[in-house]
Amino acid sequence: MTTIDASPLRGAERPSPRRQEVATRIKEYILRNRLKPGNLLPTETELCEAVGASRSSVREAVKILSALDIVEVRHGHGTFVGRMSLNALVESLTFRGLLSGEDDHRVLAQVVDVRQTLEQGLAATVIDALDEQHRSELSALADEMHSRAARGEDFLDVDRAFHLKLMEPLGNDLLVQLTEAFWQVQAIVAPTLQTEPEDRVITAQRHQAIVAALTAADATALRSAVAEHYAPIRASIARAAQP
């Protein structure tokens, strides 16, 4: 029987309404002054005056915003506007996926749905945006996956590089970040699934099929190749859902 710790969180473990309010004021300050990622924020004293809060409240608010990558604290240099990553989204989705356990992989299935929808929906746009260098790099990554699979080796790092490279020519930072975020969730949660030995080889071959469709500039073939690429992970999710 699992023992539940029902003790309340201590005040230091959860942000108070006051800290959240100050954090919101700091975000408003960033927007109002049109600050960009990497821009230096005012000193702590100046920020206290700007948002009308005490030093302790500002410090706690900065901790909250730092955890969300909205600001970045560089000790000895100051506080800067963060790169606005999707780390908080990744953490939340990953936790949900791991919490659900082996009997329920709905979060992972939903992540796969989003990834497939994005890549299929952007098929024609990706083909138009790709140049010869990108096609060559994607081909090399797919071949590396195939080589590793043939040796029985994992290739998660190459898989990640492939899908980021696929989105890169579009010049849309949000798309790249979303691709990275959903890939991370899938990479962390997927090992809880039961996979077949041949799945790795099939996955590598499906990446090569994506490259072939890109080379042929065939959007229909690319959408089909993307669907087939996600078939092994979908089969693994279906097996996990069976009693």
| Model pLDDT for residues 31-64, shown as the tens digit of each residue | 999 998 889 999 999 999 999 999 999 999 999 8
The residues, ordered by sequence, that sit 6+ positions from 234 with a Cβ below 8 Å of its Cβ are 109, 112
Per the structure, the count of domains in the chain is 2
Q: Is 5 helix (H, G, I), strand (E, B) or coil?
A: coil
Which residue, of 46, 66, 81, is where some domain finishes?
81
77, 91: one domain? no
What pTM did the predictor assign? 0.67
Sign of the alpha-carbon torsion through 124, 125, 128, 132: negative
In a domain, 120, yes or no: yes
Distances (CA, A) of 132 to 83, 139, 140, 238: 30, 10, 12, 38
Domain housing 153: 87-241
Burial of 222 (0-12, 13-18, 19+ CB in 10 A): buried
The residues, ordered by sequence, that sit 6+ positions from 88 with a Cβ below 8 Å of its Cβ are 67, 68, 69
In a domain, 117, yes or no: yes
Which residue, of 59, 81, 103, is where some domain finishes?
81
25, 108: one domain? no
41, 97: one domain? no
| Structure confidence by residue, pLDDT tens digits, 119-159 | 999 999 999 999 999 999 999 999 999 999 999 888 989 99
